Chain A
Amino acid sequence: MRKPLVLRHPSILVFLAVLAVFTVGVTILSTGYGTGVISTSMVKTLGKTLCLALAAVAMDLVWGYAGILSLGQMAFFALGGYMIGMWLMVARTETIVTGSLANLPIPPTAAEINQAVATQIFGVVGSDQFPAIWFLSGSLIGQLALVVLVPGLLALVFGWLAFRSRVNGVYLSILTQAMTLALALYLFQNDSGLRGNNGLSGLQNIPGLDAVPQESLSIWFFWASAVALGLGYLLVSWVASGKFGSVTRAIRDDEARVRFLGYSVESYKLVVFTLAAVITGIAGALYYPQAGIINPAELAPIASIYLAVWVAIGGRGRLYGAVIGAIVVSMLSSWFTGGRAPDVNLGFYTIKWVDWWQVLLGLSFVLVTLFAPKGISGIFDALAHLRPPRRGGTPLGPDMGALQEREAVE
């Protein structure tokens, strides 16, 4: 019988073990459940980073395996965040409003509470009505379903239109950029129904868990993010292994040839793109409660480009590479831009990392693309003695073919 997935690909086991050790380590050092070496805000940063790593794993499936350079992945991420944010805001505002109305001589009706909640949430955009898209916002189950459905359906419709017309390469990348930009511009409007540029806020307060301090809550979310990353990694590894993965990689390398084998290339791309969007949406739904706030700026094209840069630096086509890239680059990024990196005084000029970090990042992206196309995971490949196939002298010309065959057989 065939060996289970994790034994066929030992790197999965190693990854899960490292993730488990990291999770336990952070828990022991956390303020909520351990010695307090790691502050609550750091725990939140780490939890958010794990969510970004999950988005990077999905990006690697789309780009590294299927060859679709999607530069709009963070649209799905933000949509997942918005969907969970809607429930968080409504439920929390409801608690507050009910509390303040409870002192009235006549107990408020459900309609009055509803009205008060709407005024409270949408006052900033000059409205006192729930927009139609908030119809499920009272239900946690409903909004959790939307976390999966909204990114999934958007990817399904967008992908169907794009892949069916055989839009490829750079054109497809531009199209995905346009998608996320259009969505961001739409959400910036006050009448978009999602509070315009105010976005959704106060998401770090989980309704019903007021008694739980943020120190503990941050660890809970950290655990949830780690579990989601582990499961997402397993799922994507499973999809990318076996015959489906084989066909997907074949599509990346020569999609016309795959068509002549009888595979419907468009359906495969659609499945991969939609699955990745769903995973990214879930990652977003875990990220924004830790961030506390979401606004349309999160959908800016630059966010999705960063995601592509992380995956490129980490190593395309290697899932652990995507995770390493996301974690290393995003942590470095927050260190450099957080003002904690010491300035470099050159005498005539002082390098302020807040300004120069982007230059450094851009430069390393270019260098990695040019000189180390496998990124950081190339180091692991070298350690495991994995090398690209030695070409058996193909360039020697077709007429030499027979001779080489004999050489190769002997």
Chain B
Amino acid sequence: MSALLEVSGISVSFDGFRAINNLSFAIAECELRAIIGPNGAGKTTFMDIVTGKTRPNEGQVLWGENSVSLLKLNEAQIARAGVGRKFQRPTVFEDQTVAENLTMALKAARGPFRVLWWKPGLETEARVTALAMEVGLDAHLARKSGELSHGQKQWLEIGMLLAQEPRLLLVDEPAAGMTLAEREQTTTLLRRLAQRHAVVVVEHDMDFVRRLDCKVTVLHEGSVLAEGSLDHVTANPQVIEVYLGRG
């Protein structure tokens, strides 16, 4: 199985601080992967690089069957190529309705003139309703998304992510601020998503990662410290040292 996303030897420094140091990473189609690491390990910077927000000083980011370099594309082009991103804080367009938010995210032509002449059809409306149903917001389609609760906004954002029909989902700390029941729901959802998409979950909560039951990559000071099953990496003395401090 060839890799969907292959990151090799990337480094990036901010004002002399090496946020990412010779990092390599690969994920296959329909794979669920967790990235863990202490604060400042470079998890978010890694996502910024893959989504085009930050340019690495060196290294390569290759995408898909044709090994397209993502470094030559801007954020919008990378998103259109099939990389979806869920932010830590729910970021939905609060001044617009749930339906408008979903419609905007729906996979369709993105050029300004195509969008200008775009008209909602029965098909897109059905798709929006189906998506809203999937994330439990079908009763709130006409409400402004700013009125939704924190949890509902998280779900709306996941709905928007699904609407984009990405091939790779980057999910930043999905469990942050969720209750136990919600965490379980989220775990189920992520595992279900991984049946059809590649999913990368960035998390520093070990319990949550254990529930995901997938391959884990441990980042530390901008590079990969260990990779493997959670039991494998937690048995690694270096990982223990990083997480428990120098004993």
Chain A residues at the B interface, C-beta cutoff of 8 Å = 2, 239, 242-244, 246-247, 249-250, 253-254, 256-257, 259-265, 267-268, 270-271, 388-394, 396-405, 407-409
Contacts and interface: CB of A to CB of B under 8 A. Distances in A.
A271 B110 CA distance: 13
Given A259-B76, A260-B51, A247 B115 contact: yes
B217 interface: no
Given A250-B96, A388-B95, A389-B95, 19 more contacts: A246-B96, A249-B93, A253-B93, A261-B164, A262-B80, A263-B110, A265-B76, A389-B146, A391-B146, A392-B148, A392-B152, A393-B150, A394-B149, A396-B150, A398-B177, A402-B182, A403-B179, A408-B149, A409-B139
Interface string B131-149: 0000010010001111111
B109 to A, nearest CB: 10
* B53, B93, B143, B148 pick with most chain A CB within 10 angstroms: B93
Given A249-B96, A250-B96, A398-B177, A262 B152 contact: no
B150 A405 contact: yes
B104 A246 contact: yes
Given A261-B79, A261-B164, A402 B96 contact: no
B75 interface: yes
A253 to B, nearest CB: 6
B58 interface: no
A242 B145 CA distance: 17
B149 A407 contact: yes
B130 to A, nearest CB: 18
Contact of A392 (B53, B105, B118, B147): B147
A13 to B, nearest CB: 21
Given A250-B104, A259-B76, A262-B80, A243 B115 contact: yes
A397 B164 CA distance: 29
Given A267-B112, A402-B179, A262 B79 contact: yes
A392 B149 contact: yes
B103 interface: yes
Given A247-B104, A253-B94, A262 B151 contact: no
Question: 4 smallest A-B Cβ distances: which pairs?
Answer: A398-B177, A389-B146, A402-B179, A262-B79
Interface string B66-77: 000000001111
Interface in B87-143: 87, 91, 93-96, 100, 103-105, 110-113, 115-116, 118-120, 136, 139, 143
A271 B179 contact: no
B176 interface: yes
27 contacts: A242-B116, A243-B120, A246-B104, A247-B104, A247-B115, A249-B95, A250-B93, A250-B96, A254-B93, A257-B93, A259-B75, A261-B104, A262-B79, A264-B76, A389-B144, A392-B147, A392-B150, A398-B150, A398-B176, A398-B178, A401-B150, A401-B151, A402-B151, A402-B182, A404-B151, A405-B150, A408-B152
Nearest to B182: A402
A271 B113 CA distance: 9
B244 to A, nearest CB: 25
Contacts of B179: 399, 401-403
A397 B149 contact: no
Nearest to B103: A243
Contact of B116 (A239, A265, A389, A402): A239
Interface in B187-242: none
A244 B120 contact: no
A405 B139 CA distance: 13
A2 B177 contact: no
Given A2-B120, A267-B111, A259 B96 contact: no
B85 interface: yes
Contacts of A407: 149
B175 to A, nearest CB: 10
Nearest to A399: B177
A404 B178 CA distance: 11
Contact of A260 (B79, B94, B177, B178): B79
Nearest to A404: B149
Contacts of B12: none
B1 interface: no
A242 B79 CA distance: 22
A332 to B, nearest CB: 31
A132 to B, nearest CB: 34
A2 B93 contact: no
Interface in B16-56: 51, 53
A392 B77 CA distance: 34
B177 A401 contact: yes
A6 to B, nearest CB: 16
A246 B79 contact: no
Contacts of A265: 76
A393 B85 CA distance: 25
A46 B115 CA distance: 37
B160 interface: yes
B11 to A, nearest CB: 24
* A2, A247, A399 pick with most chain B CB within 10 angstroms: A247
Contact of A408 (B76, B120, B144, B148): B148
B177 A257 contact: no
A392 B111 CA distance: 34
B53 to A, nearest CB: 8
Contacts of B76: 259, 262-265
